[in-house]
Amino acid sequence: MLSVSDSKLGIIGLGYVGLPLAVEFGKHLDTVGLDINVQRIEELKTGVDRSLECSTEELAASPRLSYTHDLSELKDCNVYVVTVPTPIDDHKRPDLTPLVKASESVGKVLNRGDVVIYESTVYPGATEEVCVPILEALSGMKFNQDFYCGYSPERINPGDKEHRVVNIKKITSGSTPEVADFVDELYRRIIVAGTHKASSIKVAEAAKVIENTQRDVNIALINELAILFHRLGLNTLEVLEAAGSKWNFLPFRPGLVGGHCIGVDPYYLTHKAQEIGYQPEIILAGRRINDGMGEYVVQRLVKLMNRKRIHVCRSNILILGLTFKENCPDIRNTRVIDIIKELQDYNVEVDVYDPWADAHETHEEYGIDLISEPKQGHYDAVIVAVAHQEFRDLGVEKIRALGKPESVIFDVKYILPKDQVDECL
């Protein structure tokens, strides 16, 4: 069995998950980071990480890390870590295309005795049912005889400078007891917070996918309560703050649920459930509620504008924030897009301002052209959709100055004093 000290790692995918992992392993072991985005590789070689997960200093602190877009440069590796995204398609079904392509790539360079570790979020069973057959077919070798697999799900929180890869406990697993021990020892080289060795790959896969499913269902409950409390004439935040005075009340808040994890992972679990003949009720109910919050925000906004005699059609509306979460440039699966699309159905002029989002990426992904600066006194309504620190620093007076005298401020994220905005979720 391969020893950790003799390991040479190949990290497949250098996004929010793969790059921080490669940087940490590159401090201790020979590591090659592979990404198919040539521009991304060239930027990293100059010490630039456009995702802002790793600083120039952090990139420079990994002397044993190199970057490439050429698969042949991984042929000397003996441990492969796959960290590609696992999105859903337009029909909310798992899209395993990136995972399949990554497995095909690894299969082409796999050698006898090598270990392939997957970190991408999948449904229980996917590693052995989908990935392993690809590795066998491309390498011509037999699983658990010629090569081995592990699964150690990512727990990266984009934009979070407190909870980093090294101080988040890591789940590990392997396809044999010996491989499980190896994978666990490998990650303990870099994970200060320690590891939790699962009994099987399927257990580790299931543990990961329910982490975000649990959060999704909890947020859905609070979103439903927000809808109810609005009809009752109650301020949701006041109710939550009062309930939160009890020590065991969970501090969830209503809002838009997007990103590459919480808004996606539950569909991987429900897909597998339906595949084996079980119809999940609570999980899908939570998804329906959360997926409908963008439309709900617009309905509330339009009613408020009508009450203030603001003509909705051809009105000018500013949306502050597009990324899926605050202080982070990640626009993947942002549900702010639901607000934008719903507003466009009302034939309004929508300006989107986000100092964190990349303008080119936003145009390519969503066809949206970000504005460089909001116009003073121009808008009939302002929606605070993302709680970026820049918007907190602006404060209610400067945000209100962006609107016309009779404009509306809708604070989706509760970053402004609730008695100084027209509406909050």
Q: For position 329, what pLDDT does the model report?
A: 92
Q: How many CA atoms lie within 13 A of 250 on its CB side?
A: 10
Sheet strands side by side (includes 79-82)? 65-68, 31-34, 9-12, 79-82, 115-118, 148-151
DSSP assignment of 163-204 equals: S-GGGS-EEE-BSSHHHHHHHHHHHHTT-TT-EEE-SSHHHH
The whole-angstrom separation of Cα 322 and Cα 332 is 10
Q: If residue 76 lies in a helix (H) or strand (E), which one and from where to where?
A: none
**pLDDT reported for residue 101:** 97
- Both structure tokens of 127: 């590693």
Catalytic residue among 54, 131, 149, 261: 261
Q: Is 313 a catalytic residue?
A: no
Torsion sign over Cα 147, 104, 361, 385 = negative
Per-residue pLDDT of the chain (425 residues; tens, 9 = 90+): 788 989 999 999 999 999 999 999 999 999 999 999 999 999 999 999 988 889 999 999 999 999 999 999 999 999 999 999 999 998 999 999 999 999 999 999 999 999 999 999 999 999 999 999 999 999 999 999 999 999 999 988 777 777 888 999 999 999 999 999 999 999 999 999 999 999 999 999 999 999 999 999 999 999 999 999 999 999 999 999 999 999 999 999 999 998 878 889 999 999 999 999 999 999 999 999 999 999 999 999 999 999 999 999 999 999 999 999 999 999 989 999 999 999 999 999 999 999 999 999 999 999 999 999 999 999 999 999 999 999 999 999 999 999 999 999 999 999 999 889 999 98
DSSP state letter for 146 = T
Helix (H, G, I), strand (E, B) or coil at 81: strand
pLDDT the model gives residue 1: 78
- Give me the count of residues in the chain: 425
What pLDDT does residue 33 have?
Answer: 96
Q: What is the pLDDT of residue 411?
A: 95
331 is written with which tokens? 């626009």
| pLDDT score at 6 | 93
Report d(CA 332, CA 258) in Å as an integer: 8
When computed from its CA atoms, the radius of gyration of the chain, rounded to whole angstroms, is 23
Listed as own residue / partner, the contacts of 310-316 with beta carbons closer than 8 Å and 24 or more positions apart are: 310/380, 310/381, 310/406, 310/407, 310/408, 311/380, 312/346, 312/348, 313/346, 313/347, 313/348, 314/347, 314/348, 314/349, 315/348, 315/349, 315/380, 315/381, 316/348, 316/349, 316/351, 316/378, 316/379, 316/380
